[in-house]
Amino acid sequence: MNGMTRIPVREQEPRVRATNFEEVCLGYNQEEAMAEADRCLNCKNPKCVEGCPVNIDIPAFITEIKQGDIKAAYDKISEYSALPAICGRVCPQESQCEARCVRGIKGDAVSIGKLERFAADWAREQDVRPEKTAKSNGKRVAVIGSGPAGLTCAGELAKAGCEVTIFEALHEAGGVLSYGIPEFRLPKKTVVRSEIENVMALGVKIETNCVVGRSVTVEELLEKEGFDAVFIGSGAGLPRFMGIPGENANGVFSANEYLTRSNLMKAFDEAYDTPIHAGTKVAVVGGGNVAMDAARTALRLGAEVHIVYRRSEAELPARAEEVHHAKEEGILFDLLTNPTKILVDENGWVKGMECIRMELGEPDASGRRSPVEIPGSEFVMELDTVIMSLGTSPNPLISSTTEGLETNRRRCLVAKEETGATTKPGVFAGGDAVTGAATVILAMGAGKTAAKGILEYLGV
């Protein structure tokens, strides 16, 4: 071993995992983790920390793993992040911390994500939980949404001594961690539930089944229910559709619906009442992480699955690891292909999808080469199910029922980057509700920033 290559992480065999919902990646054991930790050069000026949206002291926790003190490693991470077992699994490390790793110049970057996950999993298995330490400062904060932004903001505020209640619209806390990301990438009962319980162990209360904007308004929280400040972390939950003919046919779903049925409602499990239309030949339209999740869910439910994406492989917005896993499992990629029409049978069900071939033209505003239709290249894919995974936008439920809360053209809440302060005094926001759909860790970063902004506003 020359230290140039990373210790491989054990995974379920592609052919086996394609038929079950168990976690794909099995993670390091302690021996493997210590060997991988040994590859860290403990740089004086660690670039990896700059790449982390919550600035975890990465060399410090890796040093503890190196020495075999996993509890100390977990404690170090916990100073910065309330959700390490989740981040270790779903963060795009390859474009953040690991992208800056010096090891990555000549060989493989240190497997920071897998080490974070190892420390967090170890702590959960040993039942190590954060303790409530802060003395109450008498301030009450309402947090709307129990996804990554809300949980992080709530955790930070509780650590500072605030009394925090999270209001969640669904029956289960976790936001996208519960309804969006599948079991095989992020186990719910063990990982997600446990990290939410860790936040609750800090003193945070969670009220599920409360739709702010309907069950109660932001104004009522501030004026009638005695909260001193409000944080809005309600995410970007509204699905987009293409607006092509046939989109309301039976067998066309938003990725949100398909994933919610499987993840939140556990439709894949016979013991649960909620049904899912698995499909036998499925097209997932889109190329992001959510598209990969939907495709791999459909595959596990027994379908032949095609990813239909209008640009080429290089432009796929999904993480490289997700694309790699999807291919290994047998997902077919129909790239440079764009749907133009969904074909419907006499009973209202999908029977196919007309598509057109695309080629890459000049770079557009995002810097990506924009896809252009090749005239006359239309063809038909025979299908019984189409899953639209074209991105999501913020839900207007809160902005439309709260006076003084400004949104931009994309319906996102307007909030200051440094503090999370919105245009309404005492109301802060962060995560996808402000940025539009992004990543778990960016939402956590925004939650953390807003917590600081709120503490400043409250004068504590």
Partner 1 sequence: MFQITKKRVLANQIYLMDVKAGRVARSGQPGQFVIVKMDERGERIPLTICDYDREQETVTIVFQAVGASTRRMAELEEGEYFQDFVGPLGQPSELTKESSEALQKKKLLFIAGGVGTAPVYPQVKWLREQGCRADCIIGARNEALIILEEEMKQQAAHVYVATDDGSRGFHGNVTECLKDLMAKGNEYDQIVAIGPLIMMKFVCLLTKELGIPTIVSMNPIMIDGTGMCGACRLTVGGETRFACVDGPEFDGHLVDFDEAMKRQTMYRTEEGRALLQLQDQQSGKEHHESCGCHQ
Two structure tokens written together for 249: 């046919």
Taking contact as CB under 8 A, which single stretch among the options 35-43, 77-85, 234-242, 446-454 is the one that binds partner 1?
A: 234-242
Nearest one of 390, 356, 387 to 373, comparing CA atoms? 356
Taking contact as CB under 8 A, which single stretch among the options 13-21, 193-201, 255-263, 293-301 is the one that binds partner 1?
A: 255-263
Minimum distance of partner 1 from residue 212's CB (angstroms): 10
Instruction: State which of residues 12, 55, 250, 423 lies at the interface with partner 1 (CB under 8 A).
Output: 250
Cα–Cα dist 176/255, whole Å: 12
Of residues 264-303, those binding partner 1 (CB under 8 A)? 264-266, 270-275, 277
Does residue 238 bind partner 1 (CB under 8 A)? yes
Minimum distance of partner 1 from residue 204's CB (angstroms): 20
Q: Which amino acid, 438?
A: A
Two structure tokens written together for 211: 């739709």
First to last CA, the chain: 52
Nearer to partner 1, 290 or 316 (CB): 290
CB 255 within 8 A of CB 293: yes
Cα–Cα dist 47/75, whole Å: 21
Nearer to partner 1, 30 or 209 (CB): 209
Nearer to partner 1, 284 or 421 (CB): 284
Nearer to partner 1, 272 or 379 (CB): 272
Nearer to partner 1, 13 or 270 (CB): 270
Minimum distance of partner 1 from residue 322's CB (angstroms): 22
Cα–Cα dist 267/274, whole Å: 5
Nearer to partner 1, 118 or 179 (CB): 179
CB 115 within 8 A of CB 36: yes
Bridge partners, residue 307, by sequence: 284, 333
Minimum distance of partner 1 from residue 394's CB (angstroms): 10
Nearer to partner 1, 137 or 250 (CB): 250
Q: How many Cα neighbours within 13 Å face the side chain of 418? A: 2
Does residue 133 bind partner 1 (CB under 8 A)? no
Residues, the chain: 460
Does residue 407 bind partner 1 (CB under 8 A)? no
Taking contact as CB under 8 A, which single stretch among the options 29-37, 85-93, 233-241, 302-310 is the one that binds partner 1?
A: 233-241
Instruction: State which of residues 11, 108, 247, 304 lies at the interface with partner 1 (CB under 8 A).
Output: 247
- Measured between alpha carbons, how far is residue 307 from residues 20, 157, 180, 304, 355 in Å? 20, 42, 18, 10, 13
Give the number of residues in contact with partner 1, rule: CB under 8 A: 41
CB 294 within 8 A of CB 261: no
Instruction: State which of residues 6, 185, 261, 319 lies at the interface with partner 1 (CB under 8 A).
Output: 261
Taking contact as CB under 8 A, which single stretch among the options 32-40, 258-266, 280-288, 370-378 is the one that binds partner 1?
A: 258-266
Cα–Cα dist 200/206, whole Å: 8
Nearer to partner 1, 3 or 239 (CB): 239
Minimum distance of partner 1 from residue 224's CB (angstroms): 10
Q: Which helix (H) or strand (E) holds 325?
A: helix 320-329
Minimum distance of partner 1 from residue 167's CB (angstroms): 10
Render the burial of 402-420: b for 16+ CB within 10 Å, e for the rest: beebebeeebbbebeeebb
The torsion defined by the Cα of 446, 452, 456 and 460, in degrees rounded to 10, comes to 150
Nearer to partner 1, 411 or 452 (CB): 411
Taking contact as CB under 8 A, which single stretch among the options 251-259, 299-307, 312-320, 422-430 is the one that binds partner 1?
A: 251-259
Pairing of strands 369-373, 350-363: antiparallel
Pairing of strands 140-144, 332-334: unpaired
- Measured between alpha carbons, how far is residue 9 from residues 31, 91, 201, 385 in Å? 12, 16, 31, 34
Of residues 181-220, those binding partner 1 (CB under 8 A)? 208-211, 214-216
CB-CB neighbours of 320 under 10 Å: 11
Does residue 347 bind partner 1 (CB under 8 A)? yes
CB-CB neighbours of 448 under 10 Å: 23
Minimum distance of partner 1 from residue 378's CB (angstroms): 24
Two structure tokens written together for 97: 């911390």
Minimum distance of partner 1 from residue 221's CB (angstroms): 12
Nearer to partner 1, 275 or 367 (CB): 275
Nearer to partner 1, 61 or 167 (CB): 167
Does residue 348 bind partner 1 (CB under 8 A)? yes
Two structure tokens written together for 13: 């065999």
Residues forming contacts to partner 1 in the complex (CB under 8 A) are 169-171, 179, 208-211, 214-216, 237-239, 241, 243, 247-251, 253-254, 256-257, 260-261, 264-266, 270-275, 277, 347-348, 395, 397
